[in-house]
Chain A
Amino acid sequence: MSRPVVAIAGNPNSGKTTLFNQLTGANAKVGNYAGVTVEQREGGMTLPDGRDVLLLDIPGTYSLSARSAEEQIAISVMAGLNPYHEPDAVIVVVDSTQLARNLYLVLQILELRLKVVVALNMTDVLAANHVSIDVDAVSAALGVPVVAVSARRGGGVKDLRAAVQKSLEAPETERSRAVTNGWDARLSEDVAAVEPFVPKGWDRDDDGRRRALAGWAIMSIDDDDELWDVPDDLRAAALGRRRAATAAGRDLDLDLARARYEWIDAQLPAFFETPLTPLRKVTDAIDKVLIHPAAGMLLFLVVMALVFESLFTWSAPLIDGVEAGVEAFTTGLTMLLPAGLLSDFITQGLVAGVGAVLVFLPQILMLFLFISILEDSGYMARAAFLMDRVMKAIGLTGRAFVPMLSGYACAIPAIMATRTMERQRDRLLTMMVVPIMTCSARLPVYTLVIAALFPPPSAEGGTLLGFFSLQALIMVAMYLFSTVMALAAAFVLGRTVFKGTTPPLVLELPPYRMPHPASVLRMMWERGRLFVTEAGTVILTCSVVLWVLLTFPQDVELSRDYAAEGNAARVAAGVAPILDVDDDGGVGDDDADAETGGVAAGEVIDAAAAEDASLLPVALMAALQDLRAAEAAERLRLSYGGRLGRLIEPTIAPLGFDWKIGVGLIGAFAAREVFVSTMGIVYGIGDEADETSMPLRERLHAETWPDGRPVYTPLVGLSLMVFFALAAQCMSTLAVVRRETRTWRWPIFLFTYMTAMAWASSFVVYQGGRLLGFS
């Protein structure tokens, strides 16, 4: 028999996740619930007798009633509705400092006739405030085992394990039952009328459960709900009964909720020796400052500046470290592997792809370090509270602020941070606009274009009003542009694709708590691992595909015999020529090689590198490097990527771009900053070129169309930057959206709409600029 399944449920902020971590140790698995972007966490839990059970974390909720597919998960998992199996036992975590509201969920779960264990959490907080709770009285009233625990300190966890074990072994007669019995005759009649329509697979021939699910149906089913797998006749019965009751002046939602709270309010005094009073002195004192309209707002900005600084600046040395590590590894491999296609594939395809994945880790870990501290301490809810009005204006929730801000550093961690939002619609909408923010990968492109095409402050026209640097102003303008476009996109998408009114805000500001280092580390570890294993594979695949596009076909007719020229240069410098090097790196006389142009210049250089390079004259090395760069440029032009660049030229020509920029745009799909090094190869400067490379800047200046007009004018530069600002040119972003949404639908949508928007905007800039007389 497979191992028993135990579900763990509770209100948000009840300490459920902390308890889950305590019970499972460090071995949780994170996945997704089917069909929704809600995360599913499960992990092994060991019982006192050594048996292992599967602990399934149910998303935090105040009630089992549901309107959306996300909210429906709780009832579906717990009642074992399709596609889930009923859990063998359920732990309900209860915040005993807010017992009344937490008991509401407990009562709903009891009605489902399950094996229930109630974990009374935060009893240590009660004790510290000299309030004692009568655990036996609670247990007697609820009719199920109740264990006092302190999830944060690990207190009572052993007893909880024992209680779960006992519950699993208990006979079926020990299942929970409804305790309220408070339904008046008319309400009972309404529920009874819906009962016959509860499907057989739902109620398992249990009267109590049938009644509970009929009540759930009345409370949940709506004319425009998004519930799934609800039979039509049940839907019709529930809606009909509710309408009839409304016509008769009764309110079934109110009656059902009131029946439970009447029981709770009647029982509660018996649970405490002294009446439970609100315990929020410290939190209220802190909140006097932290959510003060002025001081709180200022502090919020400071916190956000800190988060941004960490992503932008503090993670830079770590990113450099990752890059240096990958580079050192590549160098080592190049020395070990025989020169040739296989070595290129491993270093430029595979290792570069792995590097492209790992390079995101510093920012992801940094962002989730902050997010988990902000969440665990209770500050994130305050941030959402403070930012609600601002974000609501563009159709988003306060919680979208942190992901939006993180987007200025990098869209990858920012998209992962949308997890902190409750509603699927808000998450998707935020994911769709975050990639518009000016991320750090766009900076090298902007730097290159601005430096190459706009006059520096020292030159004529380089300043505005003799004070502001034109180059700096353009950079600032690009940031403003991306911000405005992202907000506008949110505004438009929120009224079209993600239609729906901004939902009312019902938020709980939890008491401040010290973040738990173990749970912070755990969050960082989980996010990092998920990114590498799930988004990483897509990124790696894409980077190999890109390498193939830019490398093949290999057997092309080159315009010059680079190897012969290289050898001629060697001979002229008094150095022995490299005769014939085949793909194995060995020297031989292969006729086929001779026919296709013999050895490549690169191989001549590589073979030279194998010799003692210091023995070669400097002038010869330089000549060989130039030859190699020229050959790389020609090979790139003849590659599939180069052909694709020319193929798309007609579509990008109206934006002022030639096919070489097209190749750059294709290369930039690996990561936007790759545009710079791809342009370096296209222009025969070598792949070492970066945004500060003078030869590359000069080359851009000198480039002309066949008719002699310069390709790169300031207007083209502007058009190019606008394109980069808006196009979804980042395979990693698409990969991470795919990972978060579990479907290709949203990455495809993202790519399509952003590219269309980028094209249209560049078109307007370029053609509009020309109409106005700019070149």
Chain B
Amino acid sequence: MSTTLDPLVPGIPTPTGRSLADLVYDEIGILGAVEGERSFRRRLLEMGFLPGTPVRMVRNIPIGDVLEVELRTSRVSLRISEARSIHLAAPVQP
């Protein structure tokens, strides 16, 4: 599935109880709040992990505790354990 990720979705996203780490391969989610240590949070916010931003799971390697996601045509890799502090809001229609 080739997807264009839309810019910010207006309105306040509703939490879903899922985190970024729960996305499966190629699934798109909408970011909710980012929690965690301030410097980690700020880094992610400045890389565009803002509430309402669509994000697609590109790679998920549980054995290595790492994943890679795509947002705004950029890629970022995170630890799965740390991606659990990045919440998802309502999913978009595929």
Could you pull out 30 A-B pairs where Cβ atoms are within 8 angstroms? A65-B46, A97-B73, A98-B73, A98-B74, A100-B73, A101-B47, A104-B47, A222-B39, A253-B38, A253-B42, A257-B50, A262-B8, A265-B72, A277-B2, A278-B5, A278-B73, A287-B59, A291-B61, A386-B64, A389-B66, A503-B39, A504-B36, A504-B82, A505-B77, A505-B78, A506-B40, A508-B76, A508-B77, A509-B68, A509-B75
Report whether B46 and A100 are in contact in the complex, using a CB–CB cutoff of 8 Å.
no
Q: Kindly identify, within residues 5 to 41 of chain B, every residue whose CB is under 8 Å from any CB belonging to chain A.
A: 5, 7-8, 36-41
List residues of chain B with CB within 8 A of the CB of A278. Answer: 5, 70, 73, 75
- Chain A 553-583: CB-based contact to B (< 8 A → 1; otherwise 0): 0000000000000000000000000000000
List residues of chain A with CB within 8 A of the CB of B72. Answer: 98, 100-101, 265
Q: Determine the residue in chain A with the shortest Cβ distance to B61.
A: A293
A121 nearest CB across to chain B (Å): 15
A465 at the interface (CB under 8 A from B): no
Contact of B47 among A62, A265, A266, A504 (CB under 8 A): A62
List residues of chain B with CB within 8 A of the CB of A514. Answer: none
Contact of B46 among A63, A507, A509 (CB under 8 A): A63
Residues of B within 8 A of A (CB): 2, 4-5, 7-8, 36-48, 50-51, 58-59, 61, 63-66, 68, 70, 72-79, 82
Assembly CA distance A505 to B73 (angstroms)? 20
Given A389-B66, A508-B75, 8 further pairs, Cβ under 8 A: A65-B46, A219-B42, A261-B48, A277-B2, A278-B73, A386-B64, A504-B78, A507-B76
List residues of chain B with CB within 8 A of the CB of A386. Answer: 64
List residues of chain A with CB within 8 A of the CB of B43. Answer: 62-63, 504, 506
A99 at the interface (CB under 8 A from B): yes
List residues of chain B with CB within 8 A of the CB of A374. Answer: none
Assembly CA distance A389 to B79 (angstroms)? 9
Assembly CA distance A279 to B74 (angstroms)? 9
Interface size class of A (residues with CB under 8 A): 35 or more
A660 at the interface (CB under 8 A from B): no
A45 nearest CB across to chain B (Å): 29
Contact of A504 among B46, B51, B68, B79 (CB under 8 A): B79
Q: Kindly identify, within residues 656 to 686 of chain A, every residue whose CB is under 8 Å from any CB belonging to chain B.
A: none
List residues of chain A with CB within 8 A of the CB of B47. Answer: 62, 101, 104, 506
A526 at the interface (CB under 8 A from B): no
Q: Determine the residue in chain A with the shortest Cβ distance to B82.
A: A504
Report whether A503 and B40 are in contact in the complex, using a CB–CB cutoff of 8 Å.
yes
- Chain A 286-298: CB-based contact to B (< 8 A → 1; otherwise 0): 0100010100000
Assembly CA distance A411 to B66 (angstroms)? 30
Given contacts A276-B73, A504-B36, A505-B78, contact A254 B48 (CB under 8 A): no
Q: Kindly identify, within residues 332 to 358 of chain A, every residue whose CB is under 8 Å from any CB belonging to chain B.
A: none
A115 nearest CB across to chain B (Å): 24
A499 at the interface (CB under 8 A from B): no
- Chain A 58-83: CB-based contact to B (< 8 A → 1; otherwise 0): 00001101010000000000000000
List residues of chain B with CB within 8 A of the CB of A508. Answer: 74-77
A369 at the interface (CB under 8 A from B): no
List residues of chain A with CB within 8 A of the CB of B4. Answer: 275, 277
Report whether A258 and B64 are in contact in the complex, using a CB–CB cutoff of 8 Å.
no
Assembly CA distance A277 to B4 (angstroms)? 6
Q: Determine the residue in chain A with the shortest Cβ distance to B56.
A: A278
A86 at the interface (CB under 8 A from B): no
B11 nearest CB across to chain A (Å): 14
Report whether A506 and B44 are in contact in the complex, using a CB–CB cutoff of 8 Å.
yes
A280 at the interface (CB under 8 A from B): yes
Assembly CA distance A503 to B44 (angstroms)? 13
A608 at the interface (CB under 8 A from B): no
Chain B interface secondary structure, helix, strand, loop or mixed? Answer: mixed
Report whether A388 and B59 are in contact in the complex, using a CB–CB cutoff of 8 Å.
no
Given contacts A293-B61, A388-B66, contact A253 B76 (CB under 8 A): no
A71 nearest CB across to chain B (Å): 9
A172 at the interface (CB under 8 A from B): no
List residues of chain B with CB within 8 A of the CB of A291. Answer: 59, 61
List residues of chain A with CB within 8 A of the CB of B8. Answer: 261-262, 265
Report whether B7 and A268 are in contact in the complex, using a CB–CB cutoff of 8 Å.
yes
List residues of chain B with CB within 8 A of the CB of A507. Answer: 76-78
Assembly CA distance A676 to B4 (angstroms)? 67
Assembly CA distance A262 to B8 (angstroms)? 8
Contact of A104 among B46, B58, B82 (CB under 8 A): B46
A385 at the interface (CB under 8 A from B): yes
List residues of chain A with CB within 8 A of the CB of B51. Answer: 254
Contact of B66 among A101, A222, A258, A505 (CB under 8 A): A505
Report whether B46 and A62 are in contact in the complex, using a CB–CB cutoff of 8 Å.
yes
List residues of chain A with CB within 8 A of the CB of B64. Answer: 293, 385-386, 388-389
List residues of chain B with CB within 8 A of the CB of A98. Answer: 72-74
Q: Determine the residue in chain B with the shortest Cβ distance to A502.
A: B79
Contact of A100 among B40, B44, B48 (CB under 8 A): B48
A284 at the interface (CB under 8 A from B): yes
Which of B2, B43, B51, B75 is the most central at the interface, judged by chain A CB atoms within 10 Å of its CB?
B75
List residues of chain B with CB within 8 A of the CB of A97. Answer: 73
List residues of chain A with CB within 8 A of the CB of B48. Answer: 100-101, 104, 261
A280 nearest CB across to chain B (Å): 7
List residues of chain A with CB within 8 A of the CB of B65. Answer: 388-389
Assembly CA distance A504 to B58 (angstroms)? 19
Given contacts A62-B46, A385-B66, A506-B43, contact A222 B38 (CB under 8 A): yes
Assembly CA distance A388 to B66 (angstroms)? 8
List residues of chain B with CB within 8 A of the CB of A254. Answer: 45, 50-51
Report whether B73 and A257 are in contact in the complex, using a CB–CB cutoff of 8 Å.
no
Report whether B42 and A65 are in contact in the complex, using a CB–CB cutoff of 8 Å.
yes
Contact of B74 among A63, A65, A101 (CB under 8 A): A101
List residues of chain B with CB within 8 A of the CB of A104. Answer: 46-48
List residues of chain B with CB within 8 A of the CB of A62. Answer: 43, 46-47
List residues of chain A with CB within 8 A of the CB of B82. Answer: 504-505
List residues of chain A with CB within 8 A of the CB of B77. Answer: 385, 505-509
Report whether B73 and A99 are in contact in the complex, using a CB–CB cutoff of 8 Å.
yes
A222 nearest CB across to chain B (Å): 6
Q: Determine the residue in chain A with the shortest Cβ distance to B38.
A: A222
Q: Determine the residue in chain A with the shortest Cβ distance to B34.
A: A254
Assembly CA distance A62 to B44 (angstroms)? 10
Assembly CA distance A506 to B41 (angstroms)? 10
Q: Kindly identify, within residues 381 to 395 of chain A, every residue whose CB is under 8 Å from any CB belonging to chain B.
A: 385-386, 388-389
Assembly CA distance A38 to B73 (angstroms)? 30
Assembly CA distance A62 to B47 (angstroms)? 7
Report whether A504 and B37 are in contact in the complex, using a CB–CB cutoff of 8 Å.
yes
Contact of B39 among A67, A261, A279 (CB under 8 A): A67
Per CB-CB distance, the 3 closest pairs between chain A and chain B, nearest first, are A265-B7, A100-B72, A257-B45
